[in-house]
Structure 1
Amino acid sequence: MRAAFFDSYGDADVLRVGELPDPGPGPDDVVVRVRAAGVNPVDHKIRAGYLDGAFPSAFPVVPGWDVAGTVEAVGPAVTAFAVGDRVLGYVRKDHVQHGTTAELVRAAVRHLAPLPDGVGFEQAAALPLAGLTALQAVEAAGVQDRETALVHAAAGGVGHLAVQLARLRGARVLGTASEANHASLRDLGAEPVTYGDGLAERVRTVLGGAAVDASIDLVGGDALPASFAVTSDPGRVVSITDAATVLGGGGRYVFVRPDSAQLAHLARLVEDGSLRVHVRGTYPLERVAEAHRDVEAGHGAGKVVVTV
């Protein structure tokens, strides 16, 4: 199979595309023929070697945890899927080696969900990690109807989904973003707030001096102390970026976990139009290094996808 891979840690230039052996299914696995693979910030951090302690690597490493495609082969114990089924998945394993930026990937059944016919492969590939992160953060914050939620980095890949999921629960949502992204946040039903110095004061001004019920930090830095400053209950401050600080303040840390039922739920929301996934850029497999640079630059709203 053709795959994108790297043999050593480094910048995007270590990525190359070539031939690797085809994977076969284990007893409770399927092999997915990849149509599209999402690119996330964790991918370039792994490639650079920053997460080697958390996720040991075995070279060559095929990057990527997000996938959308069709089932190519099934293991003998698999009953949930059949050859030809459309699927999407968050294929995160305990070690990093056999990722999704390839023509074929082996995936455990627990990492996959059915892909509805009404959802395209590129849109589906942008959903798993970001969508599950957003959903699990909204759940951890306990966002409910008639409450006010603050979402930081609200125009980003995770943020634009968290805004919509909080709105679907009936919450009023304030979202921090640069002014260039304020119009897109309004389109999602959020009230934009410019990030930077004085953020807490700006949030209080929007709310007439009141506090928010829940805060979701997706960016780190000054966003987390600002969240504690404007949230009525510190136990409802959630961060995906800074475990020590958020736990030390009495909040909750979320590290996204695979969940096939939640992923199926998200896919159905996309199919019926309740949840919009913004794909800002697509790259063919041969240009995977450009896709990594795009994500690493940290500019622009939405998600980046590699097509295979």
Structure 2
Amino acid sequence: MFRQPKIEYKSNSQILAMRKAGIVLSRALDSAVAAARVGVTTDDLNTVFEGVLKEAGATSNFLGYHGFPKSICTSVNHEVVHGIPGGYTLQDGDILSIDGGAVVDGWHSDSARTVIVGVARPEDVRLSDATEAAMWYGIAALASAKFVGDIGAAIDDYVSELPGKRLGILQDYVGHGIGTQMHQAPDVLNYRSTHRGPKVRPGLCLAIEPMLVLGGLETRTLEDDWTVVTLDGKRSCQWEHTVAVHDGGIWVLSAADGGASALEPLGVMPVPLEA
């Protein structure tokens, strides 16, 4: 029989250390999103992001990861994940997902946001809004979840019940545990499955990151061996936060307000830990 990978459960003090990394990451993403304008290159955004990390004494957990050459992923339009920042100049109407991570004192954070550059297409606004909301529904479900699989079920239920044309939930890319490494057990599915996953217990820290598409679910990887694109060329979107479970509740470590503004309307209040 195959043994499941061991989950790294964190103490309250370790969650507080991860919060430091999450706050630095939140500021760095704030700056990168603010800099995303028509005429700016994706490499410019990487430079902005790195500047915030350097000023805070943090490092990127993306740079050098399995050879990845930059500190953020910039995935534009039909690019799903792992887009490499470079000379591409942002155009009016681009939908851009910025995924980044930070390490402080050996503890990791991971978060992604989507921004629409210039004049937005209505279908792209709907895609980004739905992906962000799906993430928050998944996070809210974690507050009362018995199993990690309850997160994916909540995301799937939300997306399935949206009015209008059905959006697709990518299944090849999922969330993950996080802590002393960026990617840890367990996998966090973004869809309903018969596999319930491990039980939720205090000390569990997860990166929850749904990815939705306007078209089909088939993807391929470009010749750079990193950038994943939709096979049909339809647009994609990603949102992500790092979330901790502790004895008092949940806390969104990579959100400046701990997730309060998004979770309160869903009937959940995040519970910060005291230093």
TM-score category (smaller protein): under 0.3
The two structures have a TM-score, normalised by structure 1, of: 0.26
